[in-house]
Amino acid sequence: MKNRKWKVLSVCLLLPLAVGGLSALLTRNGMKAFKTIRKPPLTPPEWVFPAVWTVLFLLMGMASFLVLDSGKSRREIRRALGVYGLQLGVNFFWPILFFNLGAYLFSLLWLILLWILILAAKLRFSRISLSAGRLLLPYLLWTAFAGYLNAGVWLLN
């Protein structure tokens, strides 16, 4: 791989990791309160969340790299990455709404918006690179599961 491609790949991988890391850092205190609330069945142990999110952020980054490296038109790539960037921004705020503010209903609605944006990014990525679109599927599924957990927390608390 050429030196420039390594740099682009590094940025693509680090960007979602940085967004997720900053969001986690900002919600550190709010997560303490999460331990005391009632949770729905199938709630995974605490250690699962950072592990899964790390993998998902890496998959997102790899998907964005495949789109950038696809050789498709700049316009098509820009549109796909625009939706990707938008969903990444929405993703950043969900933990703040849920953990810090305890706004369980609003965060559920926010999560539905996030899921729609992930689906839109997946569809746009798939038009450019089938592999890139497929890399977003675990993220889409995990976010649906997060919606179940969020709804359960809202209903139980």
Residues 6+ apart with CB under 8 A from 71: none
Which among 64, 65, 61, 51 has a CA at the least distance from the CA of 142? 51
Q: What are phi and psi of 41, to 5 degrees?
A: -60, 155
DSSP 20-51: HHHHHHHTHHHHHHHTTS---TTPPPTTHHHH
Domain boundaries, the chain: 3-34+47-156
| pTM of the entire predicted model | 0.95
User: Mind listing the pLDDT tens digit of every residue in the chain (157 residues)?
Assistant: 688 899 999 999 999 999 999 999 999 998 888 889 999 999 999 999 999 999 999 999 999 999 999 999 999 999 999 999 999 999 999 999 999 999 999 999 999 999 999 999 999 999 999 999 999 999 999 999 999 999 999 999 9
The CATH topology of domain 3-34+47-156 is: Ferritin (1.20.1260)
